[in-house]
């Protein structure tokens, strides 16, 4: 992927050769959210924590994806995160903490509804955007806003590292900006070896999609800024169905689609079919999670119509010399020809969205490994985790949608 042509994007800056990135492979078993640490693992976590305290950058596993951490109070350390990722400077970072008591030192107030969400979902894949306490965090973390996103991850390695570092850790996903988020340490190394200080390898991430980001309004309404590992239905179970507003995320998706249309981002000719304020949460403004090839999302009134349209487009792309890819759900595989695309990847069953969430980013990276230049992905129902899956697909596609009728 080319570096985005936007003055807000940091130029990706390499700190050394690949060997300069320290790799710690943890040997302990992770069971029932408890880390059984060996002496070697405790030493690795201590070394990584020391690197964070010294202003270095460390990638580490969470229950969502791998994060790239830096001391959130240290502007130079946070700058290194932006430089390693090539991240736009107006994109705020989420701060990770190991204990709920640390929240008081970072924010000025917690709405009762926000507290109820914390009680229900922390530790876990939920980020709350709260009023930031002045002078505590680097201004780069908040991108100049008066709020900060905070979460407490539900992963034993992450919690052990955060506790040992004894500082708030700003941690976006540990990938080059715009690329699919990493769910394995190998994904981190593919993108960032030589650009960051170290990688703690704790195995595969669990949820596979980033946290849900919400902001509780003064009237108690929950604005969903980014769908993720905590579903709208789960939020409603705590605050009530009438108290959850998904419009902020939907507005962003519509804006992304409009921008894609305006910039002729509908892909090659055989594919059917300015400035803006800084985002209040990560994942709200820019194209994210994208494979290197062109990606379009196909949706329609029935799986049969989607498959028929995708098959025609893939055949046309192949005839035009494209290396094709198809992302589908297991129930629909029989609707396609045996060799519908050069690289066909399944997200599993629609009845198990958790499987799709876990495998989405790895699937997008598989298309890169296969050299796919033209990729079509089936849409899925936007209920439960399906809302987060579709959010990421739409971001990866830059809003490019193909209507199958």
Q: Where are the domains of the chain?
A: 18-119+127-206, 268-403
> Is 181 annotated as belonging to a binding site?
yes
> Is 87 annotated as belonging to a binding site?
yes
d(CA 115, CA 99): 14
> Is 57 annotated as belonging to a binding site?
no
Flag whether the pTM goes above 0.75: yes
- Statement: 268-403 belongs to CATH 3.40.50.11030: yes
d(CA 276, CA 255): 10
Pairing, β 244-245 against β 212-216: unpaired
pLDDT value for 283: 52
> Is 349 annotated as belonging to a binding site?
no
> Is 171 annotated as belonging to a binding site?
yes
CB 252 within 8 A of CB 285: yes
Give a three-class secondary structure readout of the chain. Answer: CCCCCCCCECCCCCCCCHHHCEEEECCCCEECCEECCCHHHHHHHHHHHHHHHCCCCEEECCCCCCEEEEECCCHHHHHHHHHHHCCECCCCCEEECCCHHHHHHCECCCCHHHHHHHHHHCCCCEEEEEEECCCCCCHHHHCCCCEEEEECCCCHHHHHHHHHHCCCEECCECCCCCCCCCCCHHHHHHHHCCCCCEEEECCCCCCCCCCEEEEECCCCCEEEEECCCCCHHHHHHHHCHHHEECHHHHHHHHHHHHHHHHCCCCCCCCCCCCCCCCCCCCCCCCCCCCCCCEEEEEECCCHHHHHHHHHHHHHHHHHCCCCEEEEECHHHHHHCCCCCCCEEEECCCCCCHHHHHHHHHHHHHHHHHCCCCEEEEECCCCCCCHHHHHHHHHHHCCCCEEECC
- Token pair, residue 125, equals 């894949």
pLDDT value for 27: 82
d(CA 252, CA 128): 18
> Is 275 annotated as belonging to a binding site?
no
d(CA 8, CA 277): 12
Alpha-carbon distance values, 232 to 251, 279, 299, 346 (Å): 16, 21, 22, 25
pLDDT value for 87: 85
CB 268 within 8 A of CB 317: yes
CB 220 within 8 A of CB 243: yes
Each residue's pLDDT expressed in tens, for the chain with a length of 405 residues: 334 344 343 455 555 566 789 999 998 755 544 565 789 999 999 999 999 999 999 999 999 999 999 999 999 999 999 999 998 888 899 999 999 999 999 999 999 999 999 999 999 999 999 999 999 999 999 999 999 999 999 999 999 999 999 999 999 999 998 899 999 999 999 999 999 999 999 999 988 999 999 999 999 999 999 999 999 999 999 999 899 998 766 544 444 444 444 433 345 555 444 444 455 566 555 556 889 999 999 999 999 999 999 999 999 999 999 999 999 999 999 999 999 999 999 999 999 999 999 999 999 999 999 999 999 999 999 999 999 999 999 999 999 999 998
pLDDT value for 154: 96
d(CA 217, CA 278): 19
> Is 147 annotated as belonging to a binding site?
yes
Give the list of residues 6+ apart from residue 314 with CB closer than 8 angstroms, or none. Answer: 324, 326, 340, 341, 374, 376
The residues that bridge with 166 in the sheet, in sequence order, are none
d(CA 156, CA 63): 9
pLDDT value for 206: 87
CATH number assigned to the domain covering 18-119+127-206: 3.90.870.10
Give the list of residues 6+ apart from residue 244 with CB closer than 8 angstroms, or none. Answer: 221, 222, 224, 232, 235, 236
């Amino acid at each position: 992927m080319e570096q985005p042509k936007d003055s807000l994007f940091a130029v990706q800056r390499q700190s050394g050769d690949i060997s300069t990135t320290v790799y710690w492979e943890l040997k302990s078993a992770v069971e029932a959210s408890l880390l059984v640490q060996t002496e070697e693992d405790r030493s690795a976590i201590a070394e990584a924590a020391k690197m964070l305290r010294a202003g270095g950058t460390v990638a580490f596993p969470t229950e969502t994806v791998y994060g790239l951490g830096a001391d959130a109070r240290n502007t130079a350390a946070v700058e290194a995160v932006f430089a390693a990722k090539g991240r736009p400077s107006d994109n705020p970072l989420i701060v990770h903490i190991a204990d709920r008591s640390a929240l008081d030192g970072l924010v000025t107030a917690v709405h009762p509804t926000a507290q109820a969400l914390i009680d229900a979902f922390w530790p876990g894949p939920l980020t709350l955007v709260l009023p930031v306490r002045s002078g505590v965090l680097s201004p780069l973390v908040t991108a100049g806003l008066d709020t900060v996103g905070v979460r407490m991850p539900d992963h034993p390695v992450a919690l052990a590292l955060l506790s040992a570092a004894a500082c708030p850790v700003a941690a976006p996903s540990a990938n080059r900006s715009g690329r699919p988020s990493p769910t394995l340490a190998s994904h981190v190394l593919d993108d960032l070896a030589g650009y960051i200080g170290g990688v703690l390898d704790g195995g595969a991430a669990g949820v596979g999609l980033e946290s849900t980001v919400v902001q509780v309004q003064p009237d108690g309404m929950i604005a969903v800024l980014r769908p993720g590992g905590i579903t709208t239905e789960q939020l409603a179970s705590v605050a009530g169905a009438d108290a959850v507003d998904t419009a902020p995320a939907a507005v962003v998706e519509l804006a992304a689609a409009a921008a894609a249309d305006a910039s002729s981002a509908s892909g090659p000719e055989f594919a059917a079919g300015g400035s803006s304020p800084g985002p209040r949460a990560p994942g709200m403004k820019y194209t994210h999670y994208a494979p290197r090839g062109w990606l379009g999302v196909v949706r329609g009134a029935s799986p049969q119509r989607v498959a028929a349209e995708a098959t025609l487009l893939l055949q046309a792309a192949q005839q035009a010399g494209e290396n094709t890819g198809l992302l589908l759900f297991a129930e629909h595989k029989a609707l396609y020809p045996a060799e519908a695309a050069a690289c066909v990847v399944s997200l599993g069953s629609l009845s198990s969205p958790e499987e799709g969430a876990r495998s989405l980013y790895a699937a997008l990276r598989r298309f890169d490994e296969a050299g796919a230049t033209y990729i079509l992905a089936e849409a899925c129902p936007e209920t439960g985790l399906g809302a987060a899956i579709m959010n990421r697909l739409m971001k990866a596609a830059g809003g490019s949608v193909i209507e199958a009728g």
